[in-house]
Homo-oligomer: A and B are copies of this chain.
Amino acid sequence: MNKSALRFVAGNGLLDRRAFLKSGYGLSLAAAIGLSPAGRVLAQGEPPMPAWMTSLGGADVEYGSPSAHERQVLRQLQPSTAQTAGFSIWHSPLQHQRGSITPSGLHFAVHHNGIPAIDPERHQLMIHGLVERPLRFDLERLIRYPMVSRIQFLECAGNTAANALSPTARNADCQALFGQLSGAEWTGVPLSYLLREAGVKAEARWVICEGADGGSHSRSLPLTKLMDDAIIAFYQNGERLRPSQGYPLRLFVPGWEGNVSVKWLHRLEVSDSPVFSKDESGLYTRILSDGEILAFGFPMEVKSVITHPSGQQQLPELKGFYEVSGLAWSGLGRIAKVEVSADNGHSWAPAQLHAPVLDKALTRFSIPWQWTGAATTLLSRATDALGNTQPSRSEWRSRYAAHSFNHYNAIQAWRVSSSGEVENVYA
């Protein structure tokens, strides 16, 4: 290791990225090799060429899949939901992902009533209530409206509930703890176009948004937000929505708790008040520690998690270089800053934010780390463009009534033991 590369920016081995990467450093991760005099042939003692280098390869297919060697990278069914007919929660494998796009096949999903098998030729979207012209669209016509695309995150209100609820930190991986979170490019028709065409009446304030699933999942949403940036989404990551994500169409409400982006959307009723559907008065209302009820608190607060290294991973070498990498997001705007601590919060250094840093989108952060080998705790703390930052777990807990778990966004702590095991802890 070239020592000039080791310009420390915070305690316990966090490194200055520029000095580190621009130097002629060595991570000591490669094996030096001896070459024969010809310089191009393989070294002595080298195993023979593998079969795939000495024969023609196999055929491709019309729709590709991951390698058979990556079969362990799957969505995970949250065990508590497995036995409940119709209700299921599927987590994204964040610890296996890099970048900020979640492949559509691994996007998290929460289903209240299972996945309806909708025939797109029979599906319609109706807009009615406090409008001048009640309208109904079939899919073939709706899809001809002007579209926009945005890369944005979706997070379930209940993501990371275990850390909110469990008195002691549950030993679990990043997928189990944070996996109700994904990022994708969503494409569709701005809802404002359709509402303007229907002619919203002056007294309108809310829109009741209902899905075509068996249980008619429905939420009341403020008209202002729907006119601002909500879309009727048809495409995710360049192809039509998958059934799990609302095929043939869903509402997508940027930055707000996932369940209001109503899947399989078929009805929008413009109203002067919310409807207090079972879905909003029950599951998604919060109670503050002073007993106040927080209904219709939609935006997901600023949050971050280190995905590499993270819970239940095993560091392959017991000291030396690691890149600390993770995701940050805020339902209120862009991520402005992510700080990382490698000494349980005694000192912090700013991580690099990887471009593009987009509004209400997953933002990848990273910082190089020279691990001494001693046990320590890694933390990340995100701040958004509005200046909101993450609370500690105790600060978060003191804000909400006992047994609260929605919108948990406290600073996450991963303990790294001297034997290289990474574990979820409360800092």
Contact = CB atoms under 8 A, between A and B. Distances in A.
A53 B114 CA distance: 11
Interface stretch (A6-14, A91-99, A154-162): A91-99
A189 to B, nearest CB: 10
Given A134-B33, A145-B27, A115 B57 contact: yes
A205 interface: no
A214 B52 CA distance: 6
A58 interface: yes
A242 interface: yes
A146 B54 contact: no
A187 B323 CA distance: 14
Contacts of A403: none
A100 B240 contact: no
A73 B240 contact: yes
Contacts of A366: 146-147
A250 B32 CA distance: 21
Given A60-B88, A117-B58, A33 B146 contact: no
A3 interface: no
Nearest to A199: B24
A54 B21 CA distance: 59
Interface residues of A, number: 131
Nearest to A324: B146
A90 interface: yes
From A21, A39, A53, name the one whose CB has the most chain B CB atoms within 10 angstroms: A53
Nearest to A86: B56
B101 A185 contact: yes
Given A118-B52, A144-B27, A356-B358, A60 B111 contact: yes
Contact of A32 (B55, B103, B134): B134
A397 interface: no
Contacts of A266: 53
Interface in A42-65: 50, 52-65
A272 to B, nearest CB: 13
A354 interface: yes
A25 interface: yes
Interface in A64-104: 64-67, 69-70, 73-77, 85-86, 88, 90, 96-104
A33 B267 CA distance: 13
Given A27-B193, A40-B269, 4 more contacts: A29-B144, A30-B197, A33-B128, A53-B266
8 contacts: A27-B197, A33-B134, A52-B116, A53-B212, A57-B114, A57-B213, A65-B242, A146-B366
Which 10 pairs across A and B sit closest by C-beta, in order of nearness? A57-B114, A52-B116, A99-B149, A30-B135, A62-B74, A29-B141, A56-B86, A98-B187, A57-B116, A99-B187
